[in-house]
Structure 1
Amino acid sequence: MQPDRSALGDAIAVLTRPREFYRTMPRGTGVLEPLLFLVVVGMITGAVHLGVARLFPGQVIDPGLEILLLAPVVLMVLSLVIGSLLHLVWKLLGSGEPFETAFRCVAYAMAIAPVAVVVGMLPYMGTLIVVLWWALLQALASIEVHGIAEPVAVAVFGIIAVLLILLGVTLELAVHEMQRGGELHVAAGSRAALEARSSLSELVT
């Protein structure tokens, strides 16, 4: 049976049968297919983000309906940048594939983006899960598409995953520290206002 090559079919294949997907991934047919894939996945990601923001106000910033148009653009830019970087990595590892193939490998891995929005709500653990999942997909792409030996692919993307996890956790800690500092500043301001009001009341009376 021929695999479903619609955008949704490809997304489901990446999520459920990633090794098989990359083994049979079309190549050499241009970038239109992966771009359309990113548009579909981006809109789904935006809708999920919007839904999560409405269900959990305060925990996730509500981006508004604009996210439905913005998310596909963000995924395209990320795929282009990451694809360019990984194209160099794969070349260094001995791949003979062109940039288009690298772009496809990265673009189709964006299938995890809608799930990442939900999983990303978990402090620290969300970063760990998403990064490891992404690294696994790129390792499989290295093996099945670029013909790189499995131990080499696992080692390289394992190192990349560790670096990304450290960066992600550091950023999360910094954000939480800023939020905590802001809360303390607001609390101090409120306390000062109450003290000033109390002093004024005493003077009046």
Structure 2
Amino acid sequence: MTDNTAFNPDAIIRKVRWVITDPGGYFRQMPRSGGFVEPMVFIAIMAAVLGVISAVWALFGATTGVVAGGFFAALIITPIAAVIGAFIGAAILFVIWKLMGSGENYETAFRCQSSVAAIYPVVGIVSIIPYVGNILAIAWGAFLMIEASVQVHGRSRKLATTVFGILAVLLILSNTAGERASRQMAERMENMGSEFEGYEEMSPEEAGRKMGEFLRGMEEAQKKNN
């Protein structure tokens, strides 16, 4: 798929199926050059799909742990953020593969990175289950980068599995902790809203007491988390 067919829906769907069902075959035949337009468009479209799914979950009050918000954010902000993140992620991968002994350039690293976007819709669907979306995205992404290391960069599977396996474990631990903190904060803010119902009708003394109790609760919860 070249830049001239970057907006071809059929080609994009075929790429998604190929990456998901046969990642080894995809990376063996993946073009290593040809410009940045096609992979950028692929990332943007997959991110838009992910954003729409997350926005639908948000409409039903689900905390997905992935990008959530209005459909404007889903269709505009999310794809832009995903493309920018892919350039940064590709730079990190480029350095990692160089350290592993790869002779491929940055564009090839970016094209490998763009393939991860194929799993965005699946991640978005399962993200309604707490923590599952983050874990699946990281583990599956690591598996794809292992295949890319072997098929594109010519690295041994043992080396690739060791490097990306360790990175995946560290990222899962970090992201799970971050999602847990985010969920706890959302729960506290929701509780805060219920605690201060009828605030306008409280006397200054009652309002001050309520605020003091809330802040003490926040402090105690913070100490437990630490």
| TM norm structure 2 | 0.76
Amino acid at match of 1:81: I
- SS of residue in 2 equivalent to 1:6: helix
Report whether the alignment pairs 1:126 with 2:130.
Answer: no
Cα deviation, 1:99-120, whole Å, max 9, x if unaligned, reads 0000000011111112211222
Equivalences for 1:142-157 in 2 at 5 Å? 142-157=149-164
1:188 matched to which residue of 2? Answer: 195
Match of residue 57, structure 1, among 34, 46, 61: 61
Classify the secondary structure of the residue corresponding to 2:129. coil
User: Which shifted more, 183-192 or 141-150?
Assistant: 183-192
Q: Which amino acid aligns with 1:43?
A: A
From 7, 14, 28, give the equivalent of 1:9: 14
C-alpha distance 177-50 of structure 1, shift in aligned 2 (>3 A): closer
Give 1 or 2 for the bigger CA radius of gyration.
Answer: 1
1-side partners of 2:123 and 2:161: how far apart?
A: 22
Match of 2:111 among 86, 104, 111: 104
- 1:178 is matched with which residue? 185
> Identity over the aligned pairs, expressed in percent?
32
- Residue number in structure 2 paired with 1:136: 143
Query: What is the aligned residue count?
Result: 193
Which residue does 1:203 correspond to in 2? none
What CA deviation, in whole Å up to 9, does each residue of 1:141-177 have, x standing for no partner? 1111001100110011111101110111111121122
TM-aligned CA distance change 1:136 to 1:195, over 3 Å = same
1:121-142, CA deviations, whole angstroms, 9 ceiling, x for partnerless residues?
2112332222111110111111
- Given that residues 50 and 65 in structure 1 are in contact (C-alpha distance below 8 angstroms), is that contact kept between their aligned partners in structure 2? no
**Which one of 27, 33, 37 corresponds to residue 32 of structure 1?**
37
Are residues 100 and 112 of structure 1, via their aligned partners in 2, closer, same or farther at CA, if it must alter by over 3 Å?
same
Flag the 1:40–1:133 CA change in 2: closer, same or farther, 3 A. Answer: same
Q: 1:62 to 1:30 in 2, by over 3 A?
A: closer
Deviates more, 1:11-20 or 1:122-131: 122-131
Q: RMSD value over aligned CA atoms?
A: 2.5
Residue 94 of structure 1: aligned partner: 101
Q: Note closer, same or farther for the CA distance 1:40–1:177 as it changes in structure 2 (3 Å cut).
A: closer
The one-letter code matched in structure 1 to 2:115 is Y
**CA distance in 2 between partners of 1:69 and 1:183 (Å):** 28
Task: Work out the CA distance in 2 between the residues paired with 1:165 and 1:180.
Answer: 22
1:45 paired with 2:50, answer: yes
Question: CA offset at residue 51 of structure 1?
Answer: 3.3
Q: State the distance in 1 between where 2:136 and 2:86 align.
A: 19
How far apart, CA to CA, are the structure 1 residues paired with 2:183 and 2:51?
24
